[in-house]
Chains A and B, each alone.
Chain A
Amino acid sequence: MAEQAQMQVSDEVAIAIENMNKWFGSFHVLRDINLTVNQGERIVIAGPSGSGKSTLIRCINALEEHQKGRIVVDGTLLSSDLKNIDKIRSEVGMVFQHFNLFPHLTILENCTLAPIWVRKIPKKEAEETAMHFLEKVKIPEQADKYPGQLSGGQQQRVAIARSLCMRPRIMLFDEPTSALDPEMIKEVLDTMVSLAEEGMTMLCVTHEMGFARQVANRVIFMDQGQIVEQNEPEEFFNNPQSDRTKLFLSQILGH
Chain B
Amino acid sequence: MSDTHAQSVAFVRDTMLPEQAPPVSEAGVVKWMRENLFPGPVNALLTILAIYFVYKIVAGALPWFWNGVWTTSSLAECREVLNGATGGCFSVLTERWNQLLFGFKYPSEQYWRPLSAFILLVVAVAPVLFFSLPRKMLIFTGLYPFLAYWLIWGGTILAPLFGLIGLVVAFMVFRRVEGRGFATAALAGLVTAVVVWWLGGLLAAALPGALALDPVPSRDMGGFMLNMILGTVCVSLSLPIGILLALGRQSHMPIIKWICVVFIEFIRGVPLITLLFVANVVLSYFFPPETNLDLIIRVIIMITAFASAYIAEVIRGGLAALPRGQYEAADSLGLDYAQSMRLIILPQALKISIPGIVNVAVGLFKDTTLVSVISMFDLVGMIRGPILASTEWNGVYWELWGFAVVTFFVVCYGISQYSQWLERQLQRDHH
Known: A104-B351, A146-B431, A148-B431. A118 touches B328 (CB 8 A): no
A202 to chain B, nearest CB (A): 15
B301-340 at interface with A (beta carbon < 8 Å): 323, 325-326, 328-336, 339
Residues of B within 8 A of A96 (CB): 325, 328-329
Interchain CB contact under 8 A, A162 and B333? yes
Interchain CB contact under 8 A, A86 and B431? no
A92 to B326, CA, bound (A): 17
Interchain CB contact under 8 A, B328 and A104? no
B340-358 at interface with A (beta carbon < 8 Å): 343-344, 347-348, 351
Residues of A within 8 A of B331 (CB): 61-63, 89
Closest to A91 in B: B334
B246 to chain A, nearest CB (A): 18
A114 to B330, CA, bound (A): 8
A163 to chain B, nearest CB (A): 8
Known: A104-B348, A146-B430, A148-B430. A94 touches B332 (CB 8 A): yes
Residues of A within 8 A of B431 (CB): 146, 148-149
A67 to chain B, nearest CB (A): 16
Residues of B within 8 A of A163 (CB): 332-333
Interchain CB contact under 8 A, B344 and A102? yes
Known: A100-B326, A146-B431. A113 touches B332 (CB 8 A): no
Residues of B within 8 A of A114 (CB): 333-335
B429 within 8 A of A: yes
Residues of A within 8 A of B339 (CB): 117-118
A101 within 8 A of B: yes
B281 to chain A, nearest CB (A): 47
Interchain CB contact under 8 A, A103 and B343? no
A148 to B426, CA, bound (A): 13
Residues of A within 8 A of B330 (CB): 102
Contact among A82, A103, A148, A166 with B333 in the assembled complex (CB-CB below 8 Å): A166
A237 to B275, CA, bound (A): 72
Closest to B337 in A: A82
Interchain CB contact under 8 A, A86 and B334? yes
Interchain CB contact under 8 A, A113 and B329? no
Produce 1/0 per residue, A139-172, CB < 8 A to B.
0000000101100000000000011001000000
Residues of A within 8 A of B333 (CB): 89-90, 113-114, 118, 162-163, 166
Contact among A86, A100, A104, A118 with B347 in the assembled complex (CB-CB below 8 Å): A104
A22 to B280, CA, bound (A): 56
A98 within 8 A of B: yes
| Total residues of chain B contacting the partner, CB 8 A | 21
Produce 1/0 per residue, A31-69, CB < 8 A to B.
000000000000000000000000000000111000000
Interchain CB contact under 8 A, B430 and A113? no
Produce 1/0 per residue, A91-119, CB < 8 A to B.
01110101011111000000001100110
Closest to B340 in A: A117
Produce 1/0 per residue, B348-374, CB < 8 A to A.
100100000000000000000000000
A100, A162, A166 interface centre (most CB from chain B within 10 Å): A100
A117 to B329, CA, bound (A): 14
Known: A117-B339, A148-B431. A63 touches B348 (CB 8 A): no
Known: A96-B325, A103-B348, A149-B431. A117 touches B332 (CB 8 A): no
Known: A102-B344, A113-B343, A149-B431. A118 touches B329 (CB 8 A): no
Interchain CB contact under 8 A, B335 and A118? yes
Residues of B within 8 A of A118 (CB): 333-335, 339
Residues of B within 8 A of A98 (CB): 323, 325
Known: A96-B325, A98-B325, A100-B326. A63 touches B430 (CB 8 A): no
Residues of B within 8 A of A82 (CB): 336
Closest to A119 in B: B334
Interchain CB contact under 8 A, B328 and A63? yes
Residues of A within 8 A of B344 (CB): 102, 113
B350 to chain A, nearest CB (A): 10
A90 to B330, CA, bound (A): 11
B74-109 at interface with A (beta carbon < 8 Å): none
Residues of B within 8 A of A146 (CB): 429-431
Closest to A116 in B: B343
Contact among A86, A93, A103 with B430 in the assembled complex (CB-CB below 8 Å): A103
A125 to B41, CA, bound (A): 71
A89 to B430, CA, bound (A): 28
A61 to B328, CA, bound (A): 10
Known: A117-B343, A146-B429, A146-B431. A102 touches B329 (CB 8 A): yes
B298 to chain A, nearest CB (A): 39
Interchain CB contact under 8 A, B348 and A100? no
- Given A92-B332, A104-B430, A163-B332, 16 extra CB contacts under 8 A: A62-B331, A63-B328, A63-B332, A82-B336, A86-B336, A89-B331, A94-B328, A94-B332, A100-B325, A100-B326, A101-B329, A117-B339, A117-B343, A118-B333, A118-B339, A162-B333
Q: Please name 18 pairs of A and B residues whose Cβ atoms are closer than 8 Å in the assembled complex, sorted by A.
A: A61-B332, A89-B331, A89-B333, A90-B333, A92-B332, A93-B332, A96-B328, A98-B325, A100-B329, A102-B344, A102-B348, A103-B348, A104-B348, A113-B344, A118-B339, A146-B430, A166-B333, A166-B334
Top 9 closest A-B pairs, CB basis? A90-B334, A100-B329, A100-B325, A114-B333, A89-B334, A94-B332, A118-B334, A148-B431, A146-B430
